[in-house]
């Protein structure tokens, strides 16, 4: 936390260098994008169809969705060090499972454990940033790793095994000693843990994750869980979702825009390969190589964009990044030229990566210091839900 924050033993906490925080957060993207090219190898070796092994990715996505608020709650109530060590144990256990036991149940469990741990790592990293540049480096690492993850995982699969490709999120463990060395600490909790709020939020998030796959059942469950959670929050203002977060207009605005930008970007990522293959006749290899560059551009350029807009008012960034995303969608609608489509993807990628960092910094500043870790958990949850909704919306539009 800040330089004057003290741990329970009285030792001063020092600001954690942004490079360690970026290394802590970035490998989460390996679990999201990395398996895309190695799942066919996994299906072949396991003797299963491709649909069955996609549960590995589904488990990771579900785990990061529920793990983001849960691990933020753990950090808020038990401190950064304990949350960091818990996440490290989960990631290590998950990596061991996916590498050592080549069976689908073990791979699903291992992927879920890695998802829970890396979700916590990302929330911790973002809550420990103390400047727009640091936040920009953390979010840029997520976007940059995500753009290169399929190729890196495929290379790991060729050199070692596809199981090693599934264990790449464990690279985040390399940052744990560096973060711990700075003795990060958080304030002692002001209120006891709220198990009812945690269960209701977990139920709501789980239902929302499955809405794109089974919307009648999951949608009904989401409405029910959301209503119960709202009633609970009215009686428990200092609970798992504190009233200080819910009542912060800037936090709500930036979280909603982050969801919108993520949905737009990941929807474009889903649509672009089919458009390039159908209109230009490109092979899957050509599409993969071509789409890498706009995604990589978005991730790398976002760091400069976040730094450049660090002192801009909320209204300015609230218009800038959605405007970039809208320009990308507009270009894709106006022309199916491969060059134009790639430019469109670059704009939506830049908007999402930059918006995640810029909006996260403002969301954190809009809540009290004691609620910062919880706020980052809720903010990241919104972004991840957008990443889940984007492809489903794109599929519905093209179906």
What separation, in Å, do the N-terminal and C-terminal C-alpha atoms of the chain show? 48
* CA distances, 101 to each of 28, 46, 112, 350 (Å): 21, 11, 15, 39
Which segments in the chain show pLDDT lower than 70? Answer: 1-14, 183-192, 213, 284-285, 395-399
CA distance 229 to 158: 47
pLDDT in tens, 29-71: 898 878 877 888 888 888 888 778 888 888 888 888 888 888 8
* % of the chain beyond a pLDDT of 70: 91
Distance CA 302, CA 308 (A): 10
Q: What's the predicted TM-score (pTM) here?
A: 0.82
Q: How many angstroms separate the CA atoms of 345 and 263, rounded?
A: 13
Residues 6+ apart with CB under 8 A from 374: 69, 72, 73, 76, 240, 241, 242, 245, 367
Task: Give the CATH number of domain 244-398.
Answer: 1.20.1250.20
Cα distance between residue 241 and residue 374, in whole Å: 7
Q: What is the pLDDT of residue 245?
A: 85
pLDDT in tens, 260-316: 998 898 888 877 877 787 777 777 667 778 888 898 898 889 888 998 998 899 999
Rounded Cα distance, 180 and 174, in Å: 11
In the prediction, which pLDDT does 98 show?
94
Q: Count other C-beta atoms under 10 Å from residue 4's C-beta.
A: 7
Q: What is the mean pLDDT of the chain?
A: 84
- Which superfamily does CATH assign the domain made up of 18-180 to? MFS general substrate transporter like domains (1.20.1250.20)
Q: What pLDDT does 61 receive?
A: 84
Instruction: Identify the pLDDT of residue 90.
Output: 97
Domain positions in the chain are 18-180, 195-235, 244-398
> How far is CA 307 from its chain centroid?
21
Is there a shared CATH topology between the 18-180 domain and the 244-398 domain? yes
The C-alpha atoms of residue 254 and residue 356 are separated, in whole angstroms, by 9
Residue 269 token pair: 């990522």
**Residue 16: strand, helix, or coil:** coil
pLDDT at 252: 93
Q: Give residue 2's pLDDT.
A: 38
């Amino acid at each position: 936390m800040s330089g004057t924050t003290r741990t329970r033993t009285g030792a001063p906490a020092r600001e954690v260098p942004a490079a360690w925080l970026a290394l802590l957060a970035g490998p989460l993207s390996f679990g999201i994008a990395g398996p895309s090219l190695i799942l066919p190898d996994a299906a072949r070796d396991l003797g299963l169809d491709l649909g069955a092994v996609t549960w590995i990715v589904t488990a990771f996505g579900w785990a990061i969705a529920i793990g983001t608020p849960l691990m933020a709650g753990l950090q808020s109530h038990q401190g950064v060090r304990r949350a960091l060590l818990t996440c490290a144990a989960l990631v290590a256990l998950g990596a061991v499972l996916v590498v050592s036991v080549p069976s689908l149940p073990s791979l699903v469990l291992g992927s879920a454990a890695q998802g829970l741990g890396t979700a916590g790592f990302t929330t911790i990293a973002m809550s420990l940033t103390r400047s727009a540049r640091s936040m920009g480096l953390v979010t840029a690492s997520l976007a940059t790793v995500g753009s290169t993850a399929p190729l890196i995982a495929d290379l790991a699969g060729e050199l070692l095994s596809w199981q090693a490709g599934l264990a790449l999120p464990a690279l985040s463990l390399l940052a744990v000693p560096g973060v711990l060395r700075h003795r990060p600490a958080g304030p002692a909790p002001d209120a006891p843990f709220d198990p009812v709020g945690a269960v209701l939020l977990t139920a709501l998030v789980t239902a929302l994750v499955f809405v794109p796959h089974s919307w009648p059942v999951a949608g009904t469950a989401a409405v029910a869980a959301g209503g119960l959670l709202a009633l609970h929050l009215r009686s428990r203002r200092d609970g798992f979702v504190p009233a200080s977060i819910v009542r912060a207009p800037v936090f709500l605005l930036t979280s909603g825009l982050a969801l919108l930008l993520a949905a737009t970007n990941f929807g474009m990522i889903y649509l672009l390969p089919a458009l390039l293959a159908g209109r230009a006749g490109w092979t899957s290899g050509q599409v993969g190589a071509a789409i890498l560059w706009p995604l990589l551009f978005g991730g790398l350029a976002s760091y400069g964009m976040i730094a450049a807009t660090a002192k801009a008012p909320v209204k300015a960034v609230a218009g800038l990044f959605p405007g970039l995303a809208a320009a990308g969608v507009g270009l894709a609608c106006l022309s199916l030229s491969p060059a134009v489509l790639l430019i469109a993807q670059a704009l939506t990628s830049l908007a999402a990566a930059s918006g995640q960092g810029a909006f996260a910094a403002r969301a954190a500043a809009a809540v009290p210091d004691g609620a910062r870790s919880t706020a980052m958990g809720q903010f990241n949850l919104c972004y991840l839900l957008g990443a889940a909704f984007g492809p489903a919306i794109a599929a519905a539009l093209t179906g």
